[in-house]
Chains A and B, each alone.
Chain A
Amino acid sequence: MSNSIKNLTLKIWRQLGPTSKGTFETYNVEEISDEASFLEMLDYLNERLIGEGETAIVFDHDCREGICGTCSLMINGQAHGPQRGGATCQLHMRSFSDGDNIVIEPFRAEAFPIIRDLMVDRSKFDRVIESGGFITAPTGGAPDANLIAIPKPVSDAAMDSAQCIGCGACVAACPNGAANLFTGAKVAHLNRLPQGQPERFKRVEAMVETMDEYFGSCTNHGECEGACPKEISVDVIALLNKDYRKAKFASRKDLAR
């Protein structure tokens, strides 16, 4: 049966717009069910604020089951909060205790400007995908799906990295604001598969260079892996670097032809 959590003190980042100065505001939540999710706790607070004539706290969220990647939040300094392997929307109040202080901030990174309060702009991720995170296969001409047999371990490994939900926790957790885990996950998904081979080197070059344009550099802290709600391994960064190096040689050879 549900119990309730009492006397929470929330320090929440409020900021009107990208160029305004932000500040922490303090809110008290006297009682909330431990069955409630963290975002339901914020919904509840927002209802109260609206009732008091205040503007609601802005935060990104949508599916609330950990798959769409819309929600974010630094909770007590951790991207997606204290749990491992889950997004903020999957965090429940049973992870907290009576009297806790909870600090709630937006994902902070130079590449993710704040839009308002806890909402940030992560569209640089889309720019990285647009530069090469795809297989060129226009609709209509695909051969039969079973024409290419793909070894199960290869397909499974591709799936492991394809699980990335594009939430940006890796960037927020990184002291450098690097996006190598995000970019590496997509490269590892597509470059492992037979269908991804024709564009393998072109893909990794384009994606790495677009990534470098917007994000910081990776210095192997590994914070990204710890923050990733899908627990994507930093191995994908090794693969990214390996393929990028290979690409530099492969492309030179292609150009020489």
Chain B
Amino acid sequence: MSLTQDLLARNTVQLNSKIPLGSIEDKWDNYKADMKLVNPGNKRKFKVIVVGTGLAGASAAATLAELGYQVDSFTFHDSPRRAHSIAAQGGINAAKNYQGDGDSVHRLFYDTVKGGDFRSRESNVHRLAQVSVNIIDQMVAQGVPFAREYGGLLDNRSFGGAQVSRTFYARGQTGQQLLLGAYQQLARQIGLGGVRLFNRTEFLDVVTVDGRAAGIVVRDLVTGEIESHAAHAVVLATGGYGNVFFLSTNAMSCNVTAAWRAHRKGALFANPCYTQIHPTCIPQSDEFQSKLTLMSESLRNDGRVWVPKNPNETRPAHEIAEADRDYYLERLYPSYGNLAARDVSSRAAKRLVDKGQGVGPLKNGVYLDFNEVITRLGRDVVQERYGNLFEMYERIAGENPYDMPMRIYPASHYTMGGLWVDYELQTNIPGLYAAGEANFSDHGANRLGASALMQGLADGYFVLPYTIGNELAPMLGKTIPGVDHPEFKKAEQAARDQYNGYLNIKGTRSPDWFHRELGKIIWDRCGMERDEQGLKQALSDLPALHEEFKTDLNVTGDGMSLNQTLEKAGRVDDFFQLGMLMCRDALSRQESCGTHFRTEHQTDEGEAKRDDENYCHVSAWEWGGDAMSPNLNVEPLEFEAIHLATRSYK
């Protein structure tokens, strides 16, 4: 018996992924043909809460309101337009085949499954590839100014892990333009009264009554007041947990709180150890650094990655002769070259830096060089393509990339793990959904570039609006628990106690201090490469540091007014607990796959070595009462349309 089968027999929660019948191409159509509908006049009788206003949240809230549902939308930002989707630079994939280069739904599906190293659920990924084409149509209709050719048609570029050009982009601000499109659609609904917006309001807890999601508890960040909201369904579109590393490319306030507190209420957390390290970020420059900045992967279309062959090289980049440079991605992965998948490129950079071949004052980066393309196409063309990215780099690093190669290094960027969801994007708690980066569903063990924007919008525009109706239809005419239900009161009181608790510790260390220390442990032990000894060490260091957090935290100010230190304390507490689960997950998955690289499991050439016999499953963890004793549940992954193969970018 394989380990997967053995673990499956010991599941503590019944997991039903609800994959529709039929061939992979027909599943989504079959689902839509069979799903229950709520008639237009009845939709207004249902209330849906959407937490988060990024691509997934804004598109879901707007679309559900257009359909006629009453929607309450929550964001901790001052405006829905601030959500972190805005920072995505490079682009969004879609299987339009506008370039006539052989793209198709099947090829995007295949690339995504392969890119994820065969650790994602086939049916979800195929649906994603199918609806990708609708997303581009929808966003163009919204007025998103995608890049165009002189003939007026849409332009495309290529991205890592693909051999076709299927990425649509708006200069280096694709995420911004897509988010503003979705935000404007949401704003229209707010103006029309279809959506009520609660800004500067942070989600604290999900409330369940008789096992069903009944609503949420929130804190008004301005007044400090804690209150409840009831609904027929709750959608968490609250992003990923990359900030567990402290230094990451995520915005400062990105956090895992919503997903984590749902987890503590019974929602399973899947594959937490699948965290993506982005290969092209600006290296850390000093100890004060609060975050890292990503340079779009699209730069790898034209930039060539190299390090000096000699670790003791002292000459500036432009004086190093071609013969003394190692264009290592082109050397190691000739067919994909500088566009090798993210995890592959990141590890290659780490190994060279570890060998002392790094560049820059701290020798903590590799070069990304544009000299060749500037010579070939001219400075103007390069400026047109990447102008704003070059400016951004110069502003931060103080060096001009037209003259000096950029210095880049991998950094935490995206998290593939998240709340376990079925085909309908529903968690194992009925009525509770997770969308976008907050769920685990589509990217397996590694996400391809330009696929996060695609997934967020697919979930919000083209999946949830259907699947939520299927769940709500049978609830017509039934009353739901209101905010005066004892479960709401209990959750509110627990939240008040928790936040007062942070204020009452009166220790000596700030939440940021703990966050930085936590991040160091996670980066060292559960970052780009992991091993048994390191993970075990982390699982002993983390609880000790968490204990210190509980006794030595210092939160100044009070709970009855705006207090950013208090907000941060709650988020760091959750990151601690998640960090322990990440390490536990990484320890239990004794194989390498995608971004999860266990040094004990690698090929002779240093590539990830999967174990499909024993680990071809999703690890979905159930909260076991405290952060150190979760229960493992597995969902076996079955590949029918795609043959399990070794992932190679050579």
Q: Across the interface, do B290 and A43 meet the contact criterion of CB distance under 8 Å?
A: yes
Pick the contact of A64: B59, B79, B190, B290 (CB < 8 A). Answer: B290
> Known contacts A62-B253, A129-B184: does B290 contact A37 (CB below 8 Å)?
yes
* 9 intermolecular pairs with C-beta atoms under 8 Å apart: A33-B286, A55-B563, A70-B82, A131-B191, A145-B137, A155-B145, A159-B170, A189-B145, A193-B143
Contact of B184 among A67, A134, A142 (CB under 8 A): A134
Q: Name, among A47, A49, A126, A165, the residue most crowded by chain B CB atoms within 10 Å (CB to CB).
A: A126
Q: How many A-B contacts are there with CB distance less than 8 Å?
A: 218
Interface of chain A residues 120 through 155 with chain B (CB within 8 A): 121-123, 125-126, 129-131, 133-140, 142-146, 148-152, 155
Closest chain-A Cβ to B476's Cβ sits at a distance in Å of: 23
In B71-110, the 8 Å CB interface with A consists of 77-82, 84, 86-87, 96, 98
Contact string, B286-320, partner A, CB cutoff 8 A, digits 1/0?
A: 10111101100000000000000000000000000
With an 8 A cutoff between CB atoms, is A74 at the interface? Answer: no
Q: A116-B562, A152-B150, A193-B145 are in contact. Are A139 and B138 (CB under 8 A)?
A: yes
Which residues of B sit under 8 angstroms from A140, Cβ to Cβ? 138
| Chain B residue, CB-CB nearest to A131 | B191
B199 adjacent to A123 (CB under 8 Å): yes
From A43, A67, A92, A123, B78 is in contact (CB under 8 Å) with A123
Contact with A along B153-172 (1 / 0, CB 8 A): 11000000000000000110
Contacts A2-B285, A166-B79; A155 near B148 (Cβ below 8 A) = yes
Determine the chain B residues whose CB is within 8 A of the CB of A51 once the complex forms: 508, 510, 554
Q: What 4 pairs across the A-B complex have the smallest Cβ distances?
A: A149-B152, A130-B191, A134-B184, A142-B141
User: Bound complex: CA of A146 vs CA of B133, how far in Å?
Assistant: 11
Nearest Cβ on chain B to A217's Cβ, whole angstroms:
23
With A50-B554, A139-B138 given, is the CB distance from A195 to B143 under 8 Å?
Answer: yes
Contact residue among B146, B180, B293, B561 (Cβ-Cβ distance under 8 Å from A16):
B561
Q: Does B187 make an interface contact (CB < 8 A)?
A: yes
With the chains together, A66 CA to B394 CA distance in Å? 13
Distance from A131 Cβ to chain B, minimum over Cβ atoms (Å) = 6
The digit string for A177-210, where 1 denotes a CB below 8 A from any CB of B, is 0000000000001100101100000000000000
Given known A62-B251, A166-B81, contact A144–B137 (CB-CB < 8 A)? yes
Is residue A256 contacting chain B, with contact meaning CB distance below 8 A? no
Known: A137-B142, A139-B63. A40 touches B82 (CB 8 A): no
Let me know if B390 is at the binding interface, CB within 8 A: no
Whether a CB of chain B sits under 8 angstroms from the CB of A8 is no
When C-beta atoms are compared, the residue in chain B nearest to A119 turns out to be B562
Interface hits, B235-269 → A, CB 8 Å = 251-253
Q: Are A55 and B556 closer than 8 Å at their CB atoms? A: yes
Q: Which of B59, B151, B171, B187 contacts A159 (CB 8 A)?
A: B171
Contacting pair B79 A130 (CB below 8 A): no
A212 interfacial contact with B, CB 8 Å = no
Q: Is B579 an interface residue (CB 8 A)?
A: no
Known: A39-B290, A122-B78, A163-B176. A135 touches B557 (CB 8 A): no
Other contacts beyond A40-B288, A90-B396, A145-B139: 17, CB < 8 A: A2-B361, A35-B285, A47-B510, A55-B563, A61-B252, A63-B84, A63-B87, A86-B395, A131-B191, A134-B184, A137-B141, A145-B96, A145-B137, A146-B96, A151-B152, A155-B148, A162-B180
For the complex, is B599 an interface residue (Cβ under 8 Å from A)? no
Instruction: Confirm or deny: B399 has a beta carbon within 8 angstroms of a beta carbon on chain A.
Output: no
Say yes or no for B465: interface residue by CB 8 A criterion: yes
Contact flag A145-B289 (CB < 8 Å), given A125-B79, A152-B149: no
Taking CB atoms and an 8 Å cut-off, the chain A residues in 37-95 that contact chain B are 37, 39-41, 43-44, 46-47, 49-51, 53-56, 58, 60-70, 86, 90, 92, 94
Q: Which residues of B contact A129 (CB under 8 A)?
A: 183-184, 187
Complex contacts, B285 vs chain A, CB 8 Å = 2, 33, 35
B145:A50 contact, CB within 8 angstroms? no
Contacts of B554 in A (CB 8 A): 50-51, 53
* Cβ-defined partner of A49 (8 Å) among B171, B291, B556: B556
Known A149-B153, A190-B143; contact A68-B188, beta-carbon cutoff 8 A: no
Which residues B385-399 have CB closer than 8 A to chain A? 392, 395-396, 398
Is the beta-carbon distance between B185 and A56 smaller than 8 angstroms? no
Residues B288 and A43 in contact, CB atoms below 8 Å apart: yes
CB distance from A73 to the nearest CB of B (A): 14
**Interface flag for B532 (CB, 8 Å):** no
Bound together, the chains give a CA A144 to CA B135 distance in angstroms of: 10
Residues in chain A near residue B86, CB distance under 8 A:
63, 67-68
CB-based contact A146/B153 at 8 Å:
yes
Contacting A17 at CB < 8 Å: which of B79, B173, B561? B561
In the complex, the answer to whether B176 meets A67 with C-beta atoms within 8 Å is yes
Q: How far is the CA of A140 from the CA of B141 in the complex (A)?
A: 10
Chain B 174-210 interface 0/1 with A at a Cβ cutoff of 8 Å (1 = within):
0111001001110110110000010100000000000
Q: In the complex where A56-B556, A139-B62 touch, is A116 in contact with B561 (Cβ < 8 A)?
A: yes
Check: B134 CB closer than 8 A to any chain A CB.
yes
Given A64-B291, A66-B392, A139-B63, check contact A195 B512 (CB 8 Å): no
Contact indicator per residue, chain A 206-222, by CB within 8 Å of chain B (1) or not (0): 00000000000000000
- The digit string for B455-498, where 1 denotes a CB below 8 A from any CB of A, is 00000011001000000000000000000000000000000000
Q: Is B638 an interface residue (CB 8 A)?
A: no
Cα–Cα, bound, A140→B190 (Å): 19
Residues of B within 8 A of A40 (CB): 288-290
Any chain B CB within 8 A of the CB of A115?
yes
Is A239 interfacial (CB-CB < 8 Å)?
no
Per a CB cutoff under 8 Å, which of B79, B197, B288, B555 touches A33? Answer: B288
